[in-house]
Amino acid sequence: MKILVTGASGQLGHAIILQKPKQHQILCPSRNELDLSDELSCKKYIEFNKPDLIINCGAYTNVDLAEKEKEICLAINTSAPLTFAKILKDYGGNLLQISTDYVFDGKQNFAYKENDKKNPISQYGYSKAKAEELLEKFLKPTNQLIILRTSWLLGPTGNNFLVKILNLHKTKKELFVVSDQIGTMSSTFDVAKICWEIISKWNYISEHNYINHWTCSGISSWYDIAINIGDIAQKYKILDYPAKVNPIKTENYSTLAKRPIFSLLDCEKTSIVLDIICKYWQHELEMIISKIANR
């Protein structure tokens, strides 16, 4: 099978390629070859290469800057996958769309299920929710679509919370981290594994469970994760002493974009379908930091 991985240089794309089964041919174009912000570039690349399946993990993910750069955010997160869908519809290719907990508003106090109402409160969340809506229209009737929502994605590379906080632990004596946004982290390695499991069971899942949730198990805040990063990094001798982490409320931490206060995703349905148990977030966080320590 010929599989296109968009965003191959990003943290999730990198993990997906590392875990690829040997029987698949992987396309991982550079931005010069496939520019997600350019509809014509997307159209030409797909029409020329005709991948059997696209794993669309390329995205505009700067949540705050998206409030200012709405057009480019929509071009990358909404228009590009829609362009893919229109061409895939014609020749029968499939699309695995990576989505996010930010499609929800965070106002409920229990884990979001796959069919719960979407109500994004940021431009980034809107662009991903709109993509889901349009992709469902084009590809769901023919079972060419699977959506995988994840949250708080962390890995050893890329521009993510773990890497940022680890660097702050090294350079600061004191940190202030939001403690009232509740959810759970996801591991790039674990989500990549789930992508390949979904692809291996495509026919069944696309028909019966086309929207999927996958994160680590457990509940935490960004504050909890920041403390654990420091403690685990000290254990693996990445740090001599972690910084002191102080909790602050969202209202006292000014950002351009609103974040969901509660964005826990219910992964039970996906876990049953794939017969895989979600890994506990602290264990996955330690695994990721151990990889950083051993580089």
Determine which one of 45, 112, 124, 210 is catalytic.
124
User: What secondary structure does DSSP assign to 146-191, as a single string?
Assistant: EEEEE-SEE-SSSS-HHHHHHHHHHH-SEEEEE-S-EE--EEHHHH
Instruction: Report angle CA 216, 222, 223 to the nearest 5 degrees.
Output: 125
Burial 203-238 (b: 16+ CB within 10 A, else e): eebbeebbbbbbbbebebbbbbbbbbbbbbbeeeeb
E runs forming strands in the chain: 2-6, 25-27, 53-56, 94-100, 145-150, 153-154, 174-178, 182-183, 186-187, 211-213, 220-221, 244-248
- Among this protein's residues, is 124 annotated catalytic? yes
Contact 20, 42 (CB under 8 A): no
Contacts of 66 (CB under 8 A, 6+ apart): 60, 73, 122, 123, 124, 127, 257
User: And the tokens for 284?
Assistant: 């996955």
Catalytic (active-site) positions: 124
